[in-house]
């Protein structure tokens, strides 16, 4: 008789989304789970861990609160246990410091023995109705095999670099994700060029602007025609809702692609306050009437990077609207070129079980499953093409995890909202009818 332990779920990758999954599934005794990550510890965007920067979502968008406000793994409970609840209360700011969010996540990890770090998944096979997950300890090299009925992929996205700069080709061309460990080297180099129009590029530019010494030069180029702010009006925020997920999911694939291109500014822009802080800093520099050594130019595309014999870089650039080519020299380049999902190699062992769409991407069902049966392999933050840009949003993580857990359990463990928006998406008008029913059900 076999004595092997079978888990209901094995999660691969422990970022904020799978950490939320681990926290929400922990009290569900019928669903034993394990989670693996190849990193030695949880550390969320350490290359951009500025002291003053906050999340773009309120503290309720922690690992659990939007699914279960009573959970012991909530951010408020973290503050209470660490003696900071009253300080947070007096602060009167819903937006958590990025470094404090990182500390919170580490605290959650410390409460969950199901989360195991320094464990690299090297292969997955499917035999006799179970997924066999082979894991190797990154320091000892010891390998082990674990068995699960279902898999939840939370390996996340990776820094994306243009082909001409990928593969470590240039020692002083880095992604914004690696900025802080290289900051002193950059500041000692005499000049830097930042590429990109998103939040990370803006944070790096602002940090360099404040820290640079006299004579240090900074250039900032971005392909869009302006440095646009993130859209945070309340009706726009209703796009981060189950209502909109349903609406988006049932669109034809071609329409989804078009809409994603239109909506990028909602998620890919810069915090409004940060844009103003940058402008104010530039104004202060201009008071003396001297050359500030700062160049900012939108509408510029980076085409290539060339390194000369001295180790400096020449950037081949194009002004997009006028289609004029020009070049710029710099000692260092920081690329804010975003992140991209990369399928992990270990999926090859179960490739036959994964459904694909016409473009070869995961065929993600509404319940976030990608296997042909629609109930065994689930994804986190790999479904933008099917579930919209809010797949990357921390605020919807607890909702997605609730949806997946309920699906795995075959019953409602966590209540998932269906209609929360005041506006309707689509022509059915079901939101208004549902809301009217909800209001009618309230006690007089």
Each residue of 303-328: pLDDT tens digit? 999 999 888 999 999 999 999 999 99
Mean pLDDT for 214-226 is: 94
| Global confidence as pTM | 0.92
* 409 band by pLDDT with thresholds 50, 70 and 90: very high
* Per-residue confidence (pLDDT) for residue 431, from 0 to 100: 46
Residue 33's CB: how many other CB atoms inside 10 A?
23
* 267 band by pLDDT with thresholds 50, 70 and 90: low
* Per-residue confidence (pLDDT) for residue 268, from 0 to 100: 76
* 254 band by pLDDT with thresholds 50, 70 and 90: very high
Please give the full DSSP string across 129-144, using - where no structure is assigned: TEEEEEEEETTT--EE
* Per-residue confidence (pLDDT) for residue 61, from 0 to 100: 95
In the predicted structure, residue 441 carries a pLDDT above the cut 50: no
In the predicted structure, residue 239 carries a pLDDT above the cut 80: yes
Q: Tokens 């797949």 identify what position?
A: 391
Q: What is the CATH number of domain 161-230+269-335?
A: 3.50.50.60
| Structural domain boundaries in the chain | 6-158+341-409, 161-230+269-335
In the predicted structure, residue 191 carries a pLDDT above the cut 50: yes
Q: From the options 3.30.450.20, 1.10.390.10, 1.10.3720.10, 3.50.50.60, give the CATH code of 6-158+341-409.
A: 3.50.50.60
* Per-residue confidence (pLDDT) for residue 266, from 0 to 100: 61
* 418 band by pLDDT with thresholds 50, 70 and 90: confident
Average pLDDT, the chain: 92
Please give the full DSSP string across 43-88, using - where no structure is assigned: -SSGGG--SS-EEEEETTSSSSTTT-TT-TTSHHHHHHHTT-HHHH
Residues above pLDDT 70, as percent of the chain: 95
Mean pLDDT for 67-76 is: 98
221 bridge partner residues: 195, 297
Domain 6-158+341-409 identical in fold to domain 161-230+269-335 = yes
Tokens of 272: 């409004």
Going through 251-364 in order, the beta strands assigned E by DSSP cover: 294-298, 300-307, 313-319, 324-330, 333-335, 339-341
- Among 18, 17, 120, smallest CA distance to 344 is for 120
């Amino acid at each position: 008789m076999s004595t092997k332990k079978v888990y209901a779920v094995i999660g691969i990758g422990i970022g904020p989304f799978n950490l939320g999954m681990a926290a929400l599934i922990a009290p569900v005794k019928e669903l034993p789970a394990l989670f693996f990550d190849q990193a030695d510890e949880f550390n969320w965007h350490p290359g951009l861990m500025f002291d003053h920067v906050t999340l773009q979502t309120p503290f309720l968008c922690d690992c659990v609160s939007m699914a279960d406000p009573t959970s012991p793994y909530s951010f408020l409970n973290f503050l209470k246990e660490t003696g900071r609840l009253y300080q947070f209360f007096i602060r009167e700011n819903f937006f958590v410091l990025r470094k404090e969010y990182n500390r919170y996540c580490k605290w959650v990890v410390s409460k969950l023995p199901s989360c195991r770090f320094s464990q690299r998944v090297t292969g997955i096979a499917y035999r006799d109705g179970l997924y066999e997950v082979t894991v190797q300890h990154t320091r000892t090299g010891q390998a082990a095999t674990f068995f699960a009925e279902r898999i939840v992929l939370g390996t996340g996205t990776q820094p994306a670099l243009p082909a001409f700069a990928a593969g470590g080709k240039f020692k002083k061309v880095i992604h914004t994700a690696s900025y802080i460990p290289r900051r002193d080297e950059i500041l000692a180099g005499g000049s830097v060029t930042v590429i990109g129009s998103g939040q990370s590029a803006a944070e790096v530019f602002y940090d360099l602007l404040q820290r640079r010494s006299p004579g240090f030069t900074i250039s900032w180029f971005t392909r869009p025609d302006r440095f646009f702010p993130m859209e945070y009006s309340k009706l726009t925020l209703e796009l981060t809702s189950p209502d909109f997920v349903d609406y988006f999911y049932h669109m034809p694939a071609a329409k989804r692609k078009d809409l994603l291109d239109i909506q990028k500014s909602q998620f890919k822009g810069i915090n409004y306050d940060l844009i103003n802080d940058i402008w104010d800093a530039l104004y202060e520099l201009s008071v003396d009437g001297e050359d500030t050594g700062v160049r900012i130019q939108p509408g510029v595309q980076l085409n290539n990077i060339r390194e000369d014999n001295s180790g400096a870089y020449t950037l081949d650039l194009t002004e997009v609207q006028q289609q004029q080519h020009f070049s710029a020299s710099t000692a260092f380049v920081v690329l804010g070129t975003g992140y991209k999902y990369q399928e992990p190699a270990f999926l090859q062992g179960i490739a036959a079980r994964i459904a694909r769409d016409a473009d070869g991407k995961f065929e993600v069902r509404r319940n976030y499953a990608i296997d042909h049966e629609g109930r065994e392999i689930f994804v986190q933050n790999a479904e933008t093409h099917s579930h919209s840009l809010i797949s990357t949003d921390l605020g919807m993580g607890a909702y997605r995890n609730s949806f997946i857990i309920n699906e795995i359990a075959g019953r409602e463990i966590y209540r998932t909202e269906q209609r929360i928006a005041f506006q309707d998406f689509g022509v059915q008008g079901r939101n208004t009818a549902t809301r009217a029913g909800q209001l009618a059900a309230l006690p007089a």
